[in-house]
Amino acid sequence: MKVAVGADHKGFVLKEYIKRILKEQGYEVIDKGTYSEESVDYPDFAFKVAESVSKGESDRGILICYTGIGMEIAANKIKGIRAALAFIPELAKLTRNHNDSNILTFGSYYMSPYMAQEVVLTWLKEKFEAGRHKRRVDKISNRENL
């Protein structure tokens, strides 16, 4: 599985940690930046990761900023993206099972490296349950086409 990762300056250190974990687990990582702790604008990196997922260059994406909220909002502006903020493994599981999220966001301020690792690995291993959830996700997708 190919996973695009991106962060702003506040998420850079945690992004680097997550990249290492993903590679150790056998995932192919596509780093969309940022590449330092120098101040940058989070939407630039949210759009890069979201477009990578939307175009099929990546299977899923992970975005990290200070809170995870800005990245989530920005990524969801790209057609076909269902970005979800999760800060505990149970939410990561449910957003995959019920919402078929294709981008995970979280905040570096609120997540220890260990908890981020648990959330990410949980989210990556989970599958979309479809069933009644598919009807709901389809309604969201159809709205994008208006």
pLDDT of residue 145: 83
Three-point CA angle 124, 63, 55, nearest 5°: 75
* pLDDT value of position 33: 98
Number of domains in the chain: 1
Q: 27 pLDDT exceeds 90? A: yes
Report the 10 Å Cβ neighbour count for 28. 12
pLDDT of residue 72: 98
Output the pLDDT for position 146. 81
Query: Could you give the dihedral angle defined by the CA atoms of residues 74, 26, 16 and 106, in that order, rounded to the nearest 10 degrees?
Result: 40
Query: 111 is in which domain, residue-wise?
Result: 2-144
Write out the catalytic residue numbers. 65, 98
> pLDDT tens digit string along 81-100?
999 999 999 999 999 999 99
CB 5 within 8 A of CB 60: no
Average pLDDT, the chain: 97
Mean pLDDT of 64-68: 98
CATH of the domain at 122: 3.40.1400.10
